Amino acid sequence: MAELLEEQVREELRKGQKKETILARLATPENRDNLIYILNNLPLESRRLQGRWLNYLLVILVLTVTAKKIYLIAVLLLAAVKLNQFTPLLLLDLIVPAINFYVMRELLRFHRQGYQFMTVLGALALLRGENRIFPDLYLYLAIIALSLFLLWKMFPAGDRLQPSGE
């Protein structure tokens, strides 16, 4: 149901409809809060088109960092197997790339949460010493800056719809 509603909203946004118009047209008492959430999580078509290339650059940067992380995990796992030191707990290292793939999905769908998550995850990545060396430091700083910029440009603070009762 939510996916169908999101697709309807995306189609209306592609047509250039304003969020208030979409809300008035598609809202029912049952789906109003969900519809407001979807509308607040998607940018207007004009803003999406303006930020499209920067968004793709952000996805490429995240993919680069993720691919490097997967490569290092594979090297670690192969070394552990070679030394008969493999334990299933080593597979927990794959959680970070899995989260990055989820966030990339959100970024490719232009969801507000993707930019919010990537800003936080980029900042958290800088807490680890292994990420504060060249070129990772600059990649993470670029990811944080692009995430914040796109979040600011595509989702202005005054553009949010308020749920019923607020």
- Sorted by sequence, the CB contacts under 8 Å of residue 116 that are 6+ apart come out as 147, 151
Same domain membership, residue 60 and residue 113: yes
Lowest mean per-residue pLDDT among 11-15, 111-115, 150-154: 11-15
pLDDT of residue 129: 78
Query: Span 9-19, mean pLDDT?
Result: 91
Residue 164 domain-assigned (yes or no):
no
Same domain membership, residue 99 and residue 26: no
Contact between residue 122 and residue 138 where contact means Cβ atoms under 8 Å apart: no
Q: Distance between CA 33 and CA 27 in Å, rounded?
A: 9
Q: Tens digit of pLDDT for each residue in 46-75?
A: 999 999 999 999 999 999 999 999 999 999
pLDDT at 166 over 70: no
Range of the structural domain that residue 82 is part of: 52-154
Q: Tens digit of pLDDT for each residue in 27-45?
A: 888 888 899 999 999 999 9
pLDDT of residue 64: 96
What distance lies between CA 113 and its chain's CA centroid? 6
Count of domains observed in the chain:
2
Query: Span 14-18, mean pLDDT?
Result: 90
Residue 85 domain-assigned (yes or no):
yes
Residue 161 domain-assigned (yes or no):
no
pLDDT at 163 over 90: no
pLDDT at 164 over 70: no
The token pair at 6 is: 């999101």
- Among the listed residues 101, 2, 1, 114, the one whose alpha carbon sits nearest the alpha carbon of residue 48: 114
- Among the listed residues 5, 121, 21, the one whose alpha carbon sits nearest the alpha carbon of residue 61: 121
Same domain membership, residue 56 and residue 36: no
Same domain membership, residue 31 and residue 109: no
pLDDT of residue 90: 85
Lowest mean per-residue pLDDT among 25-34, 116-125, 127-136: 127-136
